[in-house]
Amino acid sequence: MGENTILITGGCGFIGTNLVEAALQDGYTVGNLDKLTYAGRLDPPHSPRCFSPYVFRQGDICDIPLVKGFLENLKPSAVVHLAAETHVDRSIDAPEKFVQNNILGTHALLRAVLQYWRQLPEEERYAFRFLHVSTDEVFGSLGPEGFFQESTPYAPRSPYAASKASSDHMVRAYGHTYGLPVIVSNCSNNYGPFQYPEKLIPLAINRAIRGQTIPVYGDGQNIRDWIYVEDHCRALLSILRKGRTGETYLVGGNSEKSNLEVIRSICSILDELHPRADRRGYIQQLTFVQDRPGHDRRYAVNATKIMLELGWKPRVRFNEGIRRTVEWYLSQQRWVEEMLSGKYGLERLGIPKNGVIP
């Protein structure tokens, strides 16, 4: 087993793509297991600093023999579990997919990893880590004050959040019952390069430059704590290196913004970098639309534990990160078009049909 060999599930998704590159830059040998669903794209690591070995295997985490075979060939010292359905609006339209992939998929992965871990020599079993990457949405909605803590009770309020809460509990159960060395992280809203265009920030950018309306749900005052994906990846690697088994670490950017603030920032940057032909501001394309059913009002994360215990802190402030993100999407329109390619047309998702949520 290679001490610096890790398996990343979902390594072709948004966070996964960035984590694969960050891990390779840090000298890890990386195995990437990804189903290549609509939001995944098989791109090679992009940085010229990536010199470490990289192995990709297309497959479903629900396929226990496939996962176990990949583990036995790769011989990782850690698994970072990112493979999941992640879009709240899609979970409103098709909750069964989130149950299948996030709950049953996580359970199948745990079964395969447990079998692999049990046959390792004692010293390697002790060093092994299973890092389950989750979301702050499992904690529900906050009022105008306060923060989520590691001890905050779970109160998921969307099918997506409920599926992630269930997978969190299953991971902890495998740690408690079977002794598997597990760690859970719950992160706030990520943004940055390679995010599928259905999410708020890339959706706003790409609809804006195509002359379409920029939708704002409800009154636009729903608040999220935003973290640049590069900072999240550094946090995950810090947890792998120094995190304690059985623990939970909350990861946040300490950057609360309302949806309306985020979109105003995007419009301002686009006005500067990609002005409209008529020289009028992009903000005129903003349109308030029907709110998401059950839309949580506010998330905010207290990341003190990971800062004090592991020495991690976010480096990229929102003003810098959002500019980097707009610049990236402006320069990567071919990637955007290839990702969309008939699978998604930047339309609104998660609208109840005839007033009834499926």
SS3 readout for 162-186: HHHHHHHHHHHHHHHHHCCCEEEEE
Instruction: Report the distance separating Cα 261 and Cα 230, nearest Å.
Output: 22
Identify which of 181, 185, 33 has the alpha carbon closest to the alpha carbon of residue 117: 181
Instruction: Report the distance separating Cα 172 and Cα 170, nearest Å.
Output: 5
Out of 26, 34, 85, 136, pick the active-site residue.
Answer: 136
Q: Which one-letter amino acid corresponds to residue 336?
A: V
Out of 21, 26, 34, 137, pick the active-site residue.
Answer: 137
Instruction: Report the distance separating Cα 285 and Cα 283, nearest Å.
Output: 5
Find out whether 322 and 269 touch, Cβ atoms under 8 Å: yes
Is residue 136 annotated as a catalytic residue, yes or no? yes
Rounded to a whole number, what is the distance in angstroms from the first to the last CA of the chain? 46
Is residue 247 annotated as a catalytic residue, yes or no? no
Find out whether 77 and 2 touch, Cβ atoms under 8 Å: yes
Map residue 233 onto helix, strand or coil.
helix
Instruction: Report the distance separating Cα 134 and Cα 190, nearest Å.
Output: 12
Out of 28, 54, 160, 196, pick the active-site residue.
Answer: 160
Instruction: Report the distance separating Cα 319 and Cα 53, nearest Å.
Output: 35
Is residue 217 annotated as a catalytic residue, yes or no? no
Map residue 269 onto helix, strand or coil.
helix
Which is it for strands 78-81 and 5-9: parallel, antiparallel or unpaired?
A: parallel
Residue 177 CB neighbour total at 10 angstroms? 9
User: Which residues are catalytic, by number?
Assistant: 136-137, 160
